Structure 1
Amino acid sequence: MTVKSILEEKGHQVLTLGPNDKLSEAVRVLAEHRVGALVITNGDRKIVGILSERDIVRSIAKSGAAALNQTVREVMTPKVNICNENHTINDVMEIMTRGRFRHLPVEKNGMLDGIVSIGDVVKRRIEDVEREAEQIRNYIATA
């Protein structure tokens, strides 16, 4: 299974903010949409960073409530790992595990095309295992 198949099912919609938005706005968007990360773009869908709950917690630990007045640019992770629609579930699991993060933006032709979360990956992997188990049961039953 590939990232393309995940995006075909879940869609290509991604919550984004600009690097000059305030961290308080990012917190509001994360809470409102119940997501753990936002992709940061310059308005042209070109990825310039990612902002996760973890980034926000680190900033608040360092600066207290004043962190909420910082810009997203000051807090985001600027070096973003990405994948494309041809990456497999196993590729994505390896990238996420190695980098110790739960959200991986998908890029196509240099632009943001979607996002894959660890929940998406686990869901697809469980579906694969269940399908394989059913095929084995059917094989054994007809043997």
Structure 2
Amino acid sequence: MFPTRGWTGVMVVALACAAPFAAAGAAPRGEEIYARCLACHALAYDRVGPRHCGLFGRRAGSVRGYDYSNAMRGSGIVWDAATLDRFLAAPTEVVPGTTMGYAGIPDAAERTALIEWLRGASRAAKSCPQHP
């Protein structure tokens, strides 16, 4: 069960930050799939997992102030469609020792939809405010 304050805040920020991208014709399926990520991630701020603002082109393990695993910090990954696809398919295989406990998204079409949506949403979310 999610605390009401936190879950509501995630949804409000996620929807507000994603709205410009959604209006521009975002992949609705990708947004639906991203709802699974909201248990740990948000676009605008760190939660259990790091924020997704500005994800594409960012070096894995580099969000200032977020406590990454040594494995993620040392992975050498720079996030793009290809690296996200590999990671989302099998996170613990791609980065052994990661603290991301999610088993992955085995369906390639779902990963593609999510990555397409994230590309636009994370770009639109760059100006989202930081969580206090």
Higher relative contact order (CA 8 A, sep 6+): 2
Structure (1/2) with the larger strand percentage:
1
> Same fold by TM-score, threshold 0.5 exceeded?
no
Q: Under TM normalisation by the shorter chain, which class is it? A: under 0.3
Larger radius of gyration: 1
- TM-score, normalising length: structure 2: 0.22
TM-score, with length taken from structure 1: 0.21
